[in-house]
Amino acid sequence: MNDEVARVLGGDQRAISRTMTSLERRDPAVISAIKLLDHHTGHAYCIGITGPPGVGKSTLVDRLTGHLRKLGLTVGIIAVDPDSPFSGGSILGDRIRMQRHYLDSGVFIRSVSTRGQGGGLPRIVKSLVRVLDAAGKDVILVETVGVGQTELGIMGVADTVVVALMPESGDTIQALKAGVLEIADIFLVNKADREGADRMAAGIRAMLQMAAKPLQWEPPVVLTQADRGEGIEGLWARIEEHRLNLTAPADAGGYRSLLEQRRIDRRRDEFLEALQEELFQRLKARIKREQSLQSYLEDIGTGKLEPYSAAAELLDRPDLLESSFPQNE
Q: What are the residue boundaries of the structural domains of the chain, listed by start?
A: 41-247, 264-324
pLDDT for 209? 81
Amino acid 94: pLDDT: 43
Provide the CA 51 distance to its chain's centre, in angstroms.
13
Residue-level pLDDT at 76: 96
Q: What is residue 251's predicted lDDT score, i.e. its pLDDT? A: 60
Report pLDDT for 96.
Answer: 53
Q: How far is 34 from 19, CA to CA, in rounded Å?
A: 9
Task: For residues 293 and 265, give the distance between their C-alpha atoms in angstroms, rounded to a whole number.
Answer: 36
Contacts of 239 (CB under 8 A, 6+ apart): 47, 160, 162, 186
Give burial (CB, 10 Å; 0-12/13-18/19+) of 246.
Answer: buried
Closest CA to 33 of 135, 137, 136, 157: 135
Per-residue model confidence (pLDDT) at position 293: 80
* Sign for the pseudo-dihedral over CA of 117, 121, 123, 125: positive
Task: Tell me which CATH homologous superfamily contains domain 41-247.
Answer: P-loop containing nucleotide triphosphate hydrolases (3.40.50.300)
The whole-number pLDDT of residue 233 equals 96
Grouped pLDDT means (10 residues each) for the chain, 329 residues: 89 95 89 93 95 87 95 95 50 54 87 63 88 97 70 84 82 57 88 90 84 75 94 97 88 75 91 87 83 84 90 77 53
**Closest listed residue to residue 219, CA positions, set 235, 198, 199:** 235
Order of strands across the sheet that contains 107-113: 107-113, 75-81, 139-143, 45-50, 160-165, 186-189, 221-223
